[in-house]
Structure 1
Amino acid sequence: MRKPRDYDAELKALEDKARELKMRKVQQLGELVIATGADALTADELAGALIVLAETTDAGKREAWAKRGAGFFQGRSRRIASAPDRDAGGTPTQPGGTQTASGGTGAA
């Protein structure tokens, strides 16, 4: 005879997995804010810049931002590979990196 499925246990496992994924996403977003130097902004400034980014429908701007972001990650991975013991303690790697997001001009 077949063993009945424990739906409650399966549901709890799925909820735990979803909670874990959400926590990981929040942690990664926080690390991204720190790595870009955006942690130097106030919460209001950062929220305002993110709102503008989310509301932007201009495909050209979004593409330019994506290219700049890809360049940031490529440059960061090269620096990490060349200096593994370096402390990435929240100092901006590109002095103008945060201004583009909040200023809305010139990205690339």
Structure 2
Amino acid sequence: MRKPRDYDAELKALEDKARELKALKVTGLGELVIATGADALTAEELAGALVVLAETKDAAKREAWAKRGATFFQGRARRSAPASDRDTGSAQTQPGGAQPASGTTGAA
């Protein structure tokens, strides 16, 4: 005979996992704010800038922001990677990975 499913335990496990993922997202976004130096802005300035970014529909602007972000992350990777890793071309794989995030590169 099959053991009945414990839906309450499954739901609690899913809620715990969702909380954990949200906490990781919040931590990651906070680290990004600090890494870019945006933590020097007031909360109102940062929120206002993010609202403008989120509302922008201009694909060219978004693509330019995506390229600038990819350049930022490549610079960080070069500073943190050992010299032997930098020469292997590992930084060349990152721009290709960052392009689909803009949503316009693959269609163009």
| TM-score normalized with structure 2 length | 0.74
Tell me which stretches of 4 or more aligned residues in structure 1 moved more than 3 Å. Answer: none
1: CA distance, partners of 2:2 / 2:82: 57
2: CA distance, partners of 1:50 / 1:31: 16
1: CA distance, partners of 2:62 / 2:8: 43
Alignment correspondent of 2:62: 62
% identity of equivalent residues: 86
Where do 1:42-53 residues align within 5 Å?
A: 42-53=42-53
Alignment correspondent of 1:40: 40
Q: 1:82 offset after TM fit, Å? A: 3.9
How large is the Cα RMSD of the aligned pairs?
Answer: 1.1
Amino acid at match of 2:23: M
Alignment correspondent of 2:30: 30
Task: Tell me the alpha carbon deviations over residues 22-64 of structure 1, each in whole angstroms, 9 at most, x when there is no partner.
Answer: 0000000000000000000011110110010001010000000
Task: Tell me the alpha carbon deviations over residues 47-100 of structure 1, each in whole angstroms, 9 at most, x when there is no partner.
Answer: 1100100010100000000000011111101101149xxxxxxxxxxxxxxxxx
1:7 aligned onto 2:7: yes
| TM-score normalized with structure 1 length | 0.74
- Unaligned ranges ≥5, structure 2: 84-108
Amino acid at match of 2:15: E
Amino acid at match of 2:37: G
2: CA distance, partners of 1:28 / 1:68: 19
Relative CO higher for 1 or 2, CA cutoff 8 Å, sep ≥ 6? 1
- Unaligned ranges ≥5, structure 1: 84-108
Give the paired residue count.
83
